[in-house]
Amino acid sequence: IPQKLNQQFFSAVCGQANLNTRIVGGQNAPPGFWPWQVSLQTSAHFCGGSLINNQWVLTAAHCFPSRSASGVNVLLGLQSLQGSNPNMVSRTITTLVVHPSYNSVTSDNDIALLQLSSPVTLTPYITPVCLASTSSNFYSGINTWVTGWGNTGSGISLPSPQTLQEVQVPIVGNRQCQCNYNTVSITSNMVCAGLPEGGKDSCQGDSGGPLVIKQNNRWIQAGIVSFGEGCALPNYPGVYSRVSRYETWINAQITSNQPGFIAFTSTGTDSDLSKKKFCRSSKLQC
């Protein structure tokens, strides 16, 4: 990659997982399938994140409760938490930017940016993801993928997976998601995804990682793993920070070599608008 990049460079190269021909309830991800996935580590993996240009990573604010990134390593091109990782590179963090309106109680604006100590060279195993632009819309039932090294079960003693996991989950509209969570506020800065019957979800350790969706052979990040009620429980979809709400903020922090933003447009009918009967049955005014 040339040292002086064209401002549109990452819009042209983002979201291309050339090795990808197609968590809880998930499966091992082959090497290079999700080349933007990063692991945040101190003595061990604690959160995920996504590469969005050659020197910045997107993650969740709650991964840094002390507002300090001291001693944190960012591992890119990683496949397994143990053993050989021939495509891996490591960087430290020079700048941590937590969203100024992040609320640790409500999890609203659960988003942060990490500036790496030096740029990384892009390879088939290390590639930035595209980000959903402000005009994106995500209808209920649209399939997404979430990836990470988090726990493979909730409330049980299962070891964390050593190999990167992938799982497919459909979008759950905010109206339905609010009905599911009842007293927890699902704001417009959030997007939900999961199966009504449960069984597939992100979990502890996946925090900060990407929820992505494919459009015209480009992968677009729609969400950042934020919170949930347990993991993979019926009628409790995972809740993610809605990336499309933060295009202006991200571009204000990253003034050169800005990430590629792409509008995701859902087709069909937004079935979330037809959930009023369910809401009434739970005594909610949705």
Question: What pLDDT, in 10s, does the model give residues 11-55?
Answer: 888 989 877 655 455 567 877 899 999 999 999 999 999 999 999
DSSP-assigned letters across all residues of 193-221: E--TT---B--TT-TT-EEEEEETTEEEE
Highest mean pLDDT, choosing among 18-22, 54-58, 146-150, 269-273: 54-58
Q: Which of 50, 62, 154, 244 is catalytic?
A: 62
Question: What pLDDT, in 10s, does the model give residues 195-234?
Answer: 888 777 577 668 999 999 999 999 999 999 999 988 878 8
- How far is it, in rounded angstroms, from Cα 282 to Cα 276? 10
Query: What pLDDT sits at residue 221?
Result: 98
User: Quick one: residue 114, left, alpha or beta (phi over 0 = left, psi -120 to 50 = alpha)?
Assistant: beta
For the chain, which domains are there?
1-258 (2.40.10.10)
Instruction: Note if 62 is an active site residue.
Output: yes
Q: Which of 207, 226, 241, 244 is catalytic?
A: 207
Question: Rounded to two decimals, what is the model's pTM?
Answer: 0.89
Q: Which of 39, 45, 107, 110 is catalytic?
A: 110
